[in-house]
Amino acid sequence: MNQDIRLIDLFQARHRIRGHVLHTPLAASTSLTRRVGAPVHLKLECRQTTGSFKLRGATNALLALDDAARARGVIGVSTGNHGRALAHAAKRLGVRAVICMSRLVPANKVEAIRALGAEVHISGASQDEAELEVARLVREEGLTLLPPFDHPDVIAGQGTAGLEILDDLPSVDTVLVPLSGGGLLAGVALAMKSASRDIRVVGVTMERGCAMHASIQAGRPVQVEELETLADSLGGGIGLDNRYTFRMAQTLVDDTVLVSEAEIADAIRHAYREEQVIVEGAGAVGIAALLAGRVANPGTTAVLVSGANIDMALHRRLVCEEWNAGGT
């Protein structure tokens, strides 16, 4: 396969992060199996230590740094979950962490990062604008940049979730993966396609401003307007100078699917009522795609439920159906 990240990097990442992250459950879903007419399993990364898969990549990247790079402290831009993961891993290793976020990041995610002892910088109205603050701090303070997705060690760390799916469900036919910057999708797709080219890998994202989906459609990285969405963790650009995830998504992913805000809300409700799982909007998009019939003939399916870090007041509104698609 023609990319710089290899299957061996995923296995090395799994060895490196063992003891730092959980091997999360792969739970059979009776309700979705009945709906789809084929076995459906939920990979519950929402039960990871920091509430999302992001801990895998952040931990692997931090552990892979040399002592000098760690001593300078680390910095990242985040829509919430990468920042929380990086803050958690840095605290555990005694490393300074600085997290830059835009004003669109929900308050519950900002406060969770502060509670872990990281320094928080809120800058601009989009992740692209927050990245300008990252660049300034790297330049002025010499901090070590660990980005949320477009980094070999981050991608390899996220790909360990794919290795676990293969361990627990070797008969898998289709894997549905939330899509934002593509670090999770790229890593999981590498794991799946290395096992069998016949495993179908589908990236699922929101209709409201997914840069990677637009970039794949355009055949090159493009910018899109960052909009408010229930799937807030999937917001942000992929970088016009994207080095890894765009090319891997182009070559390894079979399809990308869009879901609406109403469909994401339905999926959050379904996860709570039928699966007894609290899931954030970004983590619910795979469930949304199945409920909406967006994936035809999936066969034995693994749905990666990527995170649980939803504002609980919003969750209560959604579960009680006091929310509408015009009022995110």
Mean pLDDT of 230-253: 95
Active site positions, annotated: 54, 306
Determine the pLDDT at residue 3.
Answer: 52
- Per the structure, how many domains does the chain have? 2
Least Cα distance to 19 among 52, 51, 73, 55 occurs for 55
Taking residues 118-146, what's their average pLDDT? 93
Up-side HSE of residue 239: CA atoms within 13 Å toward CB? 19
Kindly state whether residues 179 and 245 are assigned to the same domain: yes
**Three-state helix/strand/coil letters over 181-212:** CCHHHHHHHHHHHHHCCCCEEEEEEECCCCHH
> Average pLDDT of 116-123?
96
Each residue of 209-234: pLDDT tens digit?
Answer: 999 999 999 999 999 998 899 999 99
Choose the final residue of a domain: 145, 164, 184.
145
Query: Considering the domain boundaries, does residue 324 fall inside one?
Result: no
State which residues form the domain around 24. Answer: 7-52+151-319
| Tokens at 217, concatenated | 């459609």
Within-domain flag for 110: yes
Q: CA-to-CA distance for 20 and 11, rounded, in angstroms?
A: 15
Pairwise CA distance, residues 283 & 204, whole Å: 10
Q: In degrees, to the nearest 5, what angle opens at C-alpha 282 toward C-alphas 302 and 42?
A: 20
Q: Mean pLDDT, to the nearest integer, of 108-130?
A: 93
The number of beta carbons lying within 10 Å of the beta carbon of residue 15 is 10
pLDDT surpassing 50 at residue 326: yes
Q: For residue 326, tell me if it sits in a domain.
A: no
Asked whether the predicted pLDDT for residue 134 surpasses 90, the reply is: yes
Residues 173 and 251 occupy one common structural domain:
yes
Q: For residue 2, what pLDDT is reported? A: 39
pLDDT over threshold 90, residue 51: yes
| pLDDT over 90, % of the chain | 91
Is residue 327 in a domain?
A: no
- Both 200 and 221 in one domain: the answer is yes
2 lies in a domain? no
Query: By three-state DSSP, how is residue 307 classified?
Result: strand
* 157 and 217 inside one domain: yes
Average pLDDT of the chain is 95
Q: What is the pLDDT of residue 242?
A: 96
Token digits for 83?
Answer: 């920042």
Looking at residue 212, its pLDDT comes to 97
252 part of a folded domain = yes
Domain endpoint, select from 100, 122, 145: 145
CA proximity to 187, closest of 9, 62, 46: 9
Note whether 135 and 167 are within 8 A (CB).
no
Tens of pLDDT, residue by residue over 270-317, are: 999 999 999 999 999 999 999 999 999 999 999 999 999 999 999 999
For residues 17 and 89, membership in a common domain is answered with no
Mean pLDDT of 139-160: 97
The pLDDT of residue 48: 98
Q: Is residue 328, in this structure, part of any structural domain at all? A: no
Q: Tens digits of per-residue pLDDT, 74-91?
A: 999 998 999 999 999 999
pLDDT for the residue 325 = 62
The reported pTM is: 0.94
Q: How far apart are CA 146 and CA 328, in angstroms?
A: 30
Instruction: Give yes or no for residue 248 having a pLDDT over 70.
Output: yes
20 shares a domain with 164: yes
97 plus 31 within the same structural domain: no
Tell me: do 205 and 254 sit in the same domain: yes
Task: Tell me the CATH number at 132.
Answer: 3.40.50.1100
29 and 71 belong to one structural domain:
no
Contact of 185 with 203, CB cutoff 8 Å: yes
Backbone angles phi, psi at 220, to 5 degrees: -165, 155
The residue out of 128, 145, 162 marking a domain boundary is 145
For residues 20 and 93, state if they share a domain.
no
**Residue 1 predicted with pLDDT over 80:** no
Say yes or no: 309 and 231 in one domain: yes
pLDDT at residue 328 above 60? no
Asked whether 39 and 174 are in contact (CB, 8 A), the reply is no
Q: What are the tens digits of pLDDT across the range 304-313?
A: 999 999 999 9
Both 116 and 183 in one domain: the answer is no
- The DSSP H or E segment spanning 289 is helix 285-291
